[in-house]
Amino acid sequence: MPSRISKEDAEIFTRRWELVNAAQREELRQMTPEERLRRLDALYVSAREMGWNTRNPEEEAKVRETWLALRRYYGVR
């Protein structure tokens, strides 16, 4: 029989995750746009290295155009 948690334990668990989420949101708010793009680019590179890339040329072109526009806007090299 699966174990159950009490309502109080569930509320404590939920509150802890709310605090974690709030801390992460604040961390993201304090990041510069350049840092956000760098982190997103790192995720893109990781996905590509793991073979999770898209093979749809039209979609790839659209994504590439969006990336280039964002990089130009924020002055990221």
In a domain, 66, yes or no: yes
pLDDT at 8: 96
In a domain, 31, yes or no: yes
In a domain, 63, yes or no: yes
In a domain, 24, yes or no: yes
In a domain, 48, yes or no: yes
* Mean pLDDT of successive 10-residue stretches along the chain, which has 77 residues: 88 97 96 94 91 82 93 87
pLDDT at 69: 94
Domain count, the chain: 1
Give the residue numbers spanning the domain of 28.
Answer: 7-74
pLDDT at 3: 83
Over 3-67, what HEC string results? CCCCHHHHHHHHHHHHHHHHHHHHHHHHCCHHHHHHHHHHHHHHHHHCCCCCCCHHHHHHHHHHH
In a domain, 70, yes or no: yes
In a domain, 1, yes or no: no
